[in-house]
Amino acid sequence: MTDPLPLTVITGYLGAGKTTLLNAILARPLGQTITVLVNDFGEIAIDESLIINKTGDTIALTNGCVCCTIGGDLYDAIDKILTSEPRPDRLIIETSGVADPSKILQIAMAEPDLRADRCATLIDCVNFTYSLGDPFLADSLLRQIQAADLLILTKTDLVPPDQVADLVDQLAVTAPGIPIHVSSAALRTETLFGLRDRPELAHKHHHDHGTEYATWSYQGPARLDPETLNTASTMNASGCLRLKGHVTTKDGETFAVQRAGAQWQCNPIPPRTDSQVVAIGTAQSFQPAKLAALIS
């Protein structure tokens, strides 16, 4: 099995500088092929000299990077990337201004082929304090901060140094222990991508969002009926959130199977001699024994 695809989530309220940061990443991707998922191409003015092809919901760049729109289904958009050939080295998801990034991180945790590598929240030094005082905005801003493992202060050149210092102090109280980078202009790509050894951040994501996950996997000669697996892997039956793999039946047919919540997909593929399945659910409700019982 291939290694999980590393995921970087970039979030921040409207006008915080997400587009500027994404353009800088796409122009200098540090030798990686990157796929970026965004809500709308119109919000990202990609340098025309980098574009080699633009079709539908995809823009291909000269350095191998790709920019795609999310469309109506984030699960579907992610799955297309995970099954693409060649697969990118990294996936970046830019959230909308009011989105809760922890929900995207939970999707990553429930996807065996993804690894939540970094959640960077951009903080607009000019407007943050005002926005935090707005009861309609404060909740979204706090959720974005609490989901982050890196805070990036932007527009620091537009406010006095003492205002930046006050904001750093405020964020240190709001999000204790989270690194704060004071200027996105000098941000090293390695830091944003989390290319260093970061076991403590994986542990943080595992706990701070209030949900722990359990996994079950099987690889072997067992013959499995896909519809029986479908029934056993529903949320009501076993608490399974995500399932992926292939099963070979007693008749020798092989099917690629996949579950994302209530959605189940089962498609015939060239015959194999084995079955291979990975499933994940919340530790509180997942009952892997219900799936293990199918192995005979």
Report residue 14 CA to chain centroid gap: 20
Question: What pLDDT, on a 0 to 100 scale, did the predictor assign at position 9?
Answer: 92
pLDDT digit string, tens, across residues 112-138 = 788 888 899 999 999 998 888 888 888
**Nearest 5 degrees, angle CA 136-CA 141-CA 147?**
140
> Which residues touch 220 (CB under 8 Å, ≥6 apart)?
274, 275, 295
- Quick one: average pLDDT of 214-243? 87
Does pTM surpass 0.75? Answer: no
**Nearest 5 degrees, angle CA 173-CA 121-CA 177?**
35
Question: What pLDDT, on a 0 to 100 scale, did the predictor assign at position 10?
Answer: 92
Question: What pLDDT, on a 0 to 100 scale, did the predictor assign at position 58?
Answer: 78
pLDDT digit string, tens, across residues 248-294 = 999 999 999 988 777 898 999 999 999 988 887 777 788 888 899 99
Average pLDDT over the chain, rounded to an integer: 81
Contact in structure between 94 and 7 (CB atoms under 8 Å) = no
Question: What pLDDT, on a 0 to 100 scale, did the predictor assign at position 209?
Answer: 41
**Nearest 5 degrees, angle CA 30-CA 104-CA 153?**
55
d(CA 80, CA 102): 21
d(CA 160, CA 285): 50
The better pLDDT of the pair 168, 27 is held by 168
- Quick one: average pLDDT of 175-192? 75
Residue 177 has pLDDT above 80, yes or no: yes
Question: What pLDDT, on a 0 to 100 scale, did the predictor assign at position 182?
Answer: 85
Residue 224 has pLDDT above 90, yes or no: yes
Question: What pLDDT, on a 0 to 100 scale, did the predictor assign at position 203?
Answer: 37
Domains in the chain and their CATH numbers? 5-208 (3.40.50.300), 213-292 (3.30.1220.10)
User: Which structure tokens are listed for 151?
Assistant: 């805070």
pLDDT digit string, tens, across residues 210-221 = 455 677 888 899
CB atoms within 10 A of CB 171: 19
Question: What pLDDT, on a 0 to 100 scale, did the predictor assign at position 226?
Answer: 94
Question: What pLDDT, on a 0 to 100 scale, did the predictor assign at position 20?
Answer: 83
Residue 198 has pLDDT above 60, yes or no: no
- Quick one: average pLDDT of 232-250? 87
The better pLDDT of the pair 256, 68 is held by 256
Question: What pLDDT, on a 0 to 100 scale, did the predictor assign at position 121?
Answer: 93
Question: What pLDDT, on a 0 to 100 scale, did the predictor assign at position 196?
Answer: 37
Question: What pLDDT, on a 0 to 100 scale, did the predictor assign at position 25?
Answer: 84
Closest to 149 measured CA to CA, from 63, 208, 233: 208
